Structure 1
Amino acid sequence: MAPSEDQHACVIPGGFTVLSLRFSEDDAHAALHQLCVKEHRVRSESNTNRPLDRTLFVLNVPPYCSQSVITDVFSRFGSIQSVELNEKPGPSESSDTESEYFTAKRRQCFRVAYIVFEDPSSVNAAKRHPLNAPLIVSTADRPVKTGIRKWIQQYSDSLINSSSLQQDVDQFMNDYDRRKQEEAERQKEEAEQQLEDEEGWVKVKRGNRGVKVRPHSETADERTLQKEKKKKERKELQNFYSWQHRNTQKEHIAELRKKFEEDKQRIALLRAQRKFRPY
């Protein structure tokens, strides 16, 4: 350990300052827990929630220290904007749950903390804190529950209030219905814009910026392709060569002869049926 400018502060290799942590004031003879803190200076990390000049990086945070406990312990150095607890250093750990009623169970382990102060001087004050003046976790004003009292509190917090849950469910369904209605109206408006008249013209409406635009969608593109295909089939050259023209005429004459023979047979049959036969 190398002493810093302040004789009471303890700095170790890596630029970390060691702070002592005691669970309660009554445990005067209990072993102290040590925290390692330093100013957060990771410039490659693109996280606006961790300002480089106001963020304190803390290692070896015990499991019984929650965000509220860390806020109460380090508030002596200045006003705290936010506290973030992660299992390991790195980017923010995003939560997969979208509801406050169903939260993932967190593993009980030592963590790292990112404490964002409102004033940059608070970071320097925490780094200059003497080693022989331990920070107290549980006091008479802000007691921290442990043992069976902590389990009872966790069980009570896990119980969901039915009225508040029903209110949130109703709010979610109302928002869902509103989004579905807006989507249906948007699709209806898009379908109206894509209607074509008998000659294939599309009614174009003025856009938001006063520019005439034609709506583009998968249905409109498919309809346009089918229309171009039919137009191409109509424009295809037929009987371009003389031999194609002769073959077409021969087929037409053969069809006329076949139809003539069928008509002759039909007339002969009608005449035979009309012949008078008394006996």
Structure 2
Amino acid sequence: MAPSKKKHASNQPCVIPGGFTVLSLQFGSDSVAQHQLYVKEHKVRAEKCSHRPLDRTLFVLNIPPYCPEGVVKDLFSQFGSVQLVELRDHPGSFQESGPKLSRFFKPAAKQGFKVGYIVFHNSSSIKAAKSHPHDVPLVVSTEQRPVRTGVQKWIQAYTESFIQPDKLQQIVDSFMEDYDKRKEEEAEKQKEEAEQQQEDEEGWVKVTRGPKGTKARPHSEAANKKALQKEIRKKKRKELLNFYTWQHRNTQKEHIAELRKKFEEDKQRIALLRAQRKFKPY
């Protein structure tokens, strides 16, 4: 069968079912093998986080392990200025991180293919990335931006794992200063809530009206602790009686013995009254 003389359209984006655009990835300019990235505009109705604006965020699948955040940022910077790159093991909502930890105190990241969220400064960058030709691969390692692999990569990771004691002390001191500051803010907040929920001598609590349009706040932590302590004091006042079977049995025996004693006392009192009766009609 003679081959078809019809030429496929070149320099055109490749769109697959699901709305994903295929981008070719090539490690080096002289590499033969290519890797495929699947990009799509991030549109999730449940996404309420401002860190991923729906009109400027690109969702990327199948990011290889040799492409960390810095490399991914450089690759997609040709489509526009990149504001943020977030790589994760699985797609999901943005996780608000608490205190920022140094890389020396973070657990080792899992090695494998990642999913990414790339936030651009301009929404036009999304269109530029989706319209990139499929036949023009993105080159990962260049002379201006070399990416180490193999033994060189492990040597670099081993060298970077060491840290000077002075630098480590600075990181620890900075973290502890932030920690003390957060604790002081929490203590002041709890103190203010305790003052607001404080009862007067007659047991009344002062309730103030908040700004217009604000929803009613739930009970504060200080108020919950106070109510819990009050319940504990109530339980301590009450004596636990007849909890066990032997307690109930002993209580019944004591009650019967007391009734018998009272019955004998009443019999003696009646006999004494009969003996002292002086009225004799005949």
Instruction: Look up the match of 1:133.
Output: 136
SS at match of 1:138: coil
- Deviation, structure 1 residue 174: 4.9
Instruction: Look up the match of 2:61.
Output: 59
Q: 1:169 to 1:88 in 2, by over 3 A?
A: closer
In structure 1, C-alpha distance between the alignment counterparts of 2:180 and 2:19, rounded to whole Å: 55
- Deviation, structure 1 residue 89: 1.4
SS at match of 1:36: strand
Q: 1:102 to 1:173 in 2, by over 3 A?
A: closer
Matched letter for residue 16 of structure 2: I
Q: 1:56 to 1:141 in 2, by over 3 A?
A: same
Aligned residue runs from structure 1 range 159-178, under 5 A: 159-174=162-177
CA contact (8 A) 2:91 2:115 kept: yes
| Deviation string, structure 1 residues 10-49 (Cα, Å, up to 9, x no partner) | 111111111110001121xx12111111111111222221
Aligned residue runs from structure 1 range 37-52, under 5 A: 37-52=39-54
- Deviation, structure 1 residue 55: 0.7
In structure 1, C-alpha distance between the alignment counterparts of 2:60 and 2:84, rounded to whole Å: 14
In structure 2, C-alpha distance between the alignment counterparts of 1:67 and 1:31, rounded to whole Å: 22
Q: 1:115 to 1:174 in 2, by over 3 A?
A: closer
Instruction: Look up the match of 1:20.
Output: 24
Q: 1:165 to 1:8 in 2, by over 3 A?
A: same
CA contact (8 A) 2:51 2:94 kept: no
| Deviation string, structure 1 residues 242-271 (Cα, Å, up to 9, x no partner) | xxxxxxxxxxxxxxxxxxxxxxxxxxxxxx
What RMSD over aligned residues (CA atoms) do the two structures have, in Å? 4.2
The farther-off stretch of 131-140 and 157-166 is 157-166
SS at match of 1:25: coil
In structure 1, C-alpha distance between the alignment counterparts of 2:185 and 2:47, rounded to whole Å: 41
TM-score, length-normalised on structure 2?
Answer: 0.61
Matched letter for residue 8 of structure 1: Q
CA contact (8 A) 2:37 2:62 kept: yes
Instruction: Look up the match of 2:82.
Output: 80
1:8 paired with 2:12, answer yes
Instruction: Look up the match of 2:109.
Output: 106
CA contact (8 A) 1:86 1:93 kept: no
CA contact (8 A) 1:97 1:104 kept: no
Q: 1:8 to 1:164 in 2, by over 3 A?
A: same
Matched letter for residue 75 of structure 1: S
Query: What percentage of aligned pairs have identical amino acids?
Result: 51
SS at match of 2:36: strand
- Deviation, structure 1 residue 92: 2.8
In structure 1, C-alpha distance between the alignment counterparts of 2:180 and 2:37, rounded to whole Å: 50
Matched letter for residue 73 of structure 1: L
Query: Which structure has the bigger radius of gyration?
Result: 1
In structure 2, C-alpha distance between the alignment counterparts of 1:127 and 1:182, rounded to whole Å: 46
- Deviation, structure 1 residue 176: 5.7
Aligned residue runs from structure 1 range 115-194, under 5 A: 115-174=118-177
In structure 1, C-alpha distance between the alignment counterparts of 2:88 and 2:27, rounded to whole Å: 21
Q: 1:167 to 1:94 in 2, by over 3 A?
A: same
